[in-house]
Amino acid sequence: MSLTLDIDQITLEFYNEGFREHLQTYDLSEDHSYYTAFSLDAIEMCEQEEDRNPIIIHANGLPVGFFVLHGYNGVKNYTNNENALLLRAYSVRTSFQGKGIAKKSMQILPAFIKEHFRDANEVILAVNKRNVTAQSLYKKSGFNDKGIRVMGIKGELFVYHLAL
């Protein structure tokens, strides 16, 4: 899908059932799908745990990306900070990658969190050691690597922190 995007029009919105049809055709490359959950699978988990919040990344009004902000039940494996949120299942549809969407979504994330999760003071994520592209994005977006390492299902994870 070729589309000219106005990067200043990237927005974040809570998932609702109206997005389900778009997510049924959500494409991820084999490489990206190795490191992240498919959006519909992640939404199923959100429906089972109330502190998981699915978020849609919009570009020109189209849902082009997805992630989950998970409360303390998700983040407690990485920190004792009860006011932290875990960023998980982050992805941008393959057909929209390389257009600045990921970078812009990370830039607007702190304001979105401050508006909707007023008590949150930190965002934490765990990124696979082999996922160098994602590590670069997160570091350029202000996340810090404090040297915390954990083992995940698919190998070693680096735990990154972003103070809000």
Q: What's residue 33's pLDDT?
A: 58
pTM: 0.89
Identify the DSSP state of 71.
Answer: -
Q: How far apart are CA 75 and CA 82, in angstroms?
A: 8
Segments in the chain below pLDDT 50: 1-2
pLDDT in tens, 58-80: 988 789 999 999 999 999 999 99
- Please say whether the beta carbons of 130 and 155 come within 8 A: yes
Q: In this structure, how many other beta carbons lie within 10 angstroms of the beta carbon of residue 60?
A: 12
What domains appear along the chain, each with residue ranges and CATH number? 7-163 (3.40.630.30)
Report the length, in residues, of the chain: 164
Three-state SS for 42? helix
Q: What's residue 30's pLDDT?
A: 62
Beta-carbon contacts of 123 under 8 Å, excluding residues fewer than 6 positions away, are: 69, 84, 85, 86, 87, 109, 110, 113, 143, 161, 162, 164
